[in-house]
């Protein structure tokens, strides 16, 4: 729910700011809140920490897709996106493979620390080492991004975009449950 609420405003912000810095900050935030989940003292504390993770993770897809569009030529973008999504699946598998033994050894709270700390380290690394690439428009001048209402109207009128998003929502609900 938090991811869904924040992904549009964060995407809007990514169109107007340094994508690398914003992605790095959001990665650091969701990793920190993940790690803090180990210290939750009640259901509601844990609930709001997990909502914070979802809100901060909302930067991941729009930022990576925008950065890939700026870094890779058109003919290589599908492969680059495939690599990103493969990384997501491998990471998810690794969490399950590592999380079980960690929980068995040190309890469920330790899993949140083990999952959060590497992301914080990666966020710092990205912040300092990855430069912001120029925005790509395949040789065209990059125009100022449209207001959110115009983007939403275009999206609602585009049947392929609308149906692809509905399909993605269905997949995400199944993966998350």
27-85 per-position pLDDT tens digit: 999 999 999 999 999 999 999 999 999 999 999 999 999 999 899 998 999 999 999 88
By CB atoms closer than 10 A (0-12, 13-18, 19+), residue 127 is middle
**26, 31, 56: which is closest to 116 by C-alpha?**
31
When the pLDDT of each residue in the chain is averaged and rounded to a whole number, the result is: 88
Place of tokens 């003919």: 75
Model pTM greater than 0.75? yes
pLDDT above 70 for 175: no
Supply the pLDDT for residue 76: 93
**5, 13, 118, 135: which is closest to 62 by C-alpha?**
13
131-150 pLDDT per residue, tens: 999 886 665 556 677 788 88
pLDDT above 60 for 177: no
Mean pLDDT (whole number) for 148-168:
83
pLDDT class of 164 with cuts at 50, 70, 90 = confident
**65, 72, 40: which is closest to 53 by C-alpha?**
40
């Amino acid at each position: 729910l938090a991811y869904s609420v924040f992904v549009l405003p964060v995407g809007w912000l990514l169109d107007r700011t340094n994508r690398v810095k914003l992605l790095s900050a959001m990665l650091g935030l969701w990793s920190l809140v993940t790690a803090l989940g180990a210290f939750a003292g009640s259901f509601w504390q844990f609930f709001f920490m997990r909502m914070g993770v979802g809100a901060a993770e909302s930067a991941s897809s729009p930022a990576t897709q925008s950065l890939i569009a700026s870094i890779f030529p058109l003919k290589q973008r599908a492969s680059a996106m495939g690599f990103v999504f493969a990384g997501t699946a491998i990471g998810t598998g690794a969490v399950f493979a590592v999380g079980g033994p960690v929980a068995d050894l040190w309890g469920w709270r330790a899993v949140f620390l083990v999952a959060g700390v590497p992301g914080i380290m990666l966020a710092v690394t990205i912040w300092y080492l990855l430069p912001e690439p120029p925005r790509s428009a395949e040789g065209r001048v990059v125009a100022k991004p449209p207001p959110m209402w115009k983007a939403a109207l275009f999206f609602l009128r585009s049947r392929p975009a609308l149906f692809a998003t509905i399909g993605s929502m269905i997949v995400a609900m199944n993966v998350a449950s």
